[in-house]
Amino acid sequence: MQIKMLTALVTLALGALNAQAVVTDKTIEDDAKTPGDIVSWGLGTQGQRHSPLKQINPGTIGKLVPAWSFSFGGEKQRGQESQPLIHDGVMYVTASYSRIYALDAKTGAKLWKYDHRLPDGIMPCCDVINRGAALYDNLVIFATLDAQLVALNAKTGEVEWKEKIDDYAAGYSASAAPLIAGGLLLTGVSGGEFGVVGRVEARDPKTGRMVWTRPVVEGHMGYTFDKDGNKKENGISGTAGKSWPGDLWKTGGAATWLGGTYDAKTGLAYFGTGNPSPWNSHLRKGDNLFSCSTVAIDVKTGQIKWHYQNTPNDGWDFDGVNEFVTFDLDGRRVGGKADRNGFFYVNDAATGELLNAFPFVKKVTWATGIDLKTGRPNYVPENRPGDPTGGADGKKGNVVFSAPSFLGGKNQMPMAYSPETRLFYVPANEWGMEIWNEPITYKKGAAYLGAGFTIKTLNEGSIGALRAIDPKTGKIVWEVPNNAPLWGGVLTTGGNLVFWGTPEGFLQAADAKTGKIVWKFQTGSGVVAPPVTWEDQGEQYVAVVSGWGGAVPLWGGDVAKRVNYLEQGGSVWVFKLMK
């Protein structure tokens, strides 16, 4: 009897240990208010990137020192844009070329590594980056550059399931961190420069089985799937042919390449959509829904509940993929978005109603503002790239200068919100471009632009600036200029601090209320990733991935020449207070 009781107690104890290690829907729902771990991209599905931790603050940060650093190793450097996840004492961090590591979060010791075998012929638009993973149950799940999803056993690194998203030979890829919302695994697609069709997919995170798919190009059919994989029509997105001429909707772009956010209060997932294809807007007269938009999707049904289009009939590659971060404003659930087109938008999170819109960069040439009644931009027609068919030789339209450049007032680097200061902290860039249109026809797997461009600096001064922005008034409360363009994300804390990295290699922190820099550390390579913070046994840690790369050195034109001295890298740094 005693042996049986002892066996039962051991079984219960083991069960409890296993339960502690498993990531549940509740774990994810509480992520923003449980600073002992980080189980979602954005430190909570709302994407606020705020931690309540206060141990590290302006009074103590002088004692912040490295605890450990880990190199991703080998010759696979390039851009490192990953946000680490931390759970049960383990850090899960992805790296360039579709790699992922499990590290001891206290010591940096490598527990396991998975190196996805990439085929020849992958076509990532903007470097071989990966932005992070998702945790669910006993799995760590991430997307790969050849458009696959891989689920690994969190303890061993062994493959539990693998599913193909789409055909990489047709230009599809995937680099965003998956989103867990309502018990489903939500993912988007990359490849807007190759004429792909943007969409959001929902899967069972334990098995990879498809549950629903929702295209975000008007005219395409959505589907639901039963447990046997049989699909059923779930309604066309929008109205076929309404905002797209001819057959261009069939290769319409609108890639959902940055991933999404989710708000449990509205039950909606928010995905930004990229540029319509091709870039030559004269070929596709109309609004081209749902490109350059915020699309709110009911996670239970896969239906689009509302959309707001930031740049109708985009002619400048102003992808609207930037994250939609929900927060409370005057007793109302709203969302903020700093769009690539240079305007900051505030929309009702439940209905999409536009509440406010204002520029967050100093030079915008394509529009004079956003009409708050209609929600539409007030275009400057002469600053749209010209129609090549109207040119002297029919091969090149009028060249225009546009600001911001297609790299955006803000690009992939996620901003942060502080519920304490009620400010957003936005990594912004001031630059422009010369852009012109060219004739183009679609060819599977080939670049589908119909445009040429050169990125230009606006002056000899700073390009980047971290800006503290009041979403209610549109006022820039303070800013910290940066010589090189900012390309990494932001973190806010209850300790009245804002952390962000620079291409020059610094991880730095400022007073959240004043913008005064109170600490910085040289990581050895440019930082193009978002920092995180967590607590373990009473100690607060800060981490960031370091490794220069991404779109700027590839597409940056005159700006790329200005920062060509920056070195590549590949490592994760972790800091804590010196005792």
Report the alpha-carbon distance of residue 445 to residue 500 in Å, rounded.
Answer: 36
Report the alpha-carbon distance of residue 323 to residue 520 in Å, rounded.
Answer: 27
Report the alpha-carbon distance of residue 379 to residue 372 in Å, rounded.
Answer: 14
DSSP state of 126: S
The pair of three-digit structure tokens given for residue 150, joined into one six-digit string: 């891989």
- Coil vs helix vs strand at 283: helix
E strand segments, 526-570: 532-536, 539-546
Determine if the peptide bond prior to 358 is cis (ω within 30°). Answer: no
Determine if the peptide bond prior to 404 is cis (ω within 30°). Answer: yes
The catalytically annotated residue of 37, 146, 317, 319 is 317
Report the alpha-carbon distance of residue 256 to residue 238 in Å, rounded.
Answer: 17
Beta bridge partners of 455: 433
Report the alpha-carbon distance of residue 292 to residue 312 in Å, rounded.
Answer: 7
Beta bridge partners of 163: 149
Report the alpha-carbon distance of residue 577 to residue 548 in Å, rounded.
Answer: 26
Beta bridge partners of 573: 69, 544
Q: Report yes or no: 122 and 110 within 8 Å, Cβ to Cβ.
A: no
In degrees, to the nearest 5, what angle opens at C-alpha 488 toward C-alphas 483 and 493? 110
Active-site annotation holds for 115? no
Residues with catalytic function: 317
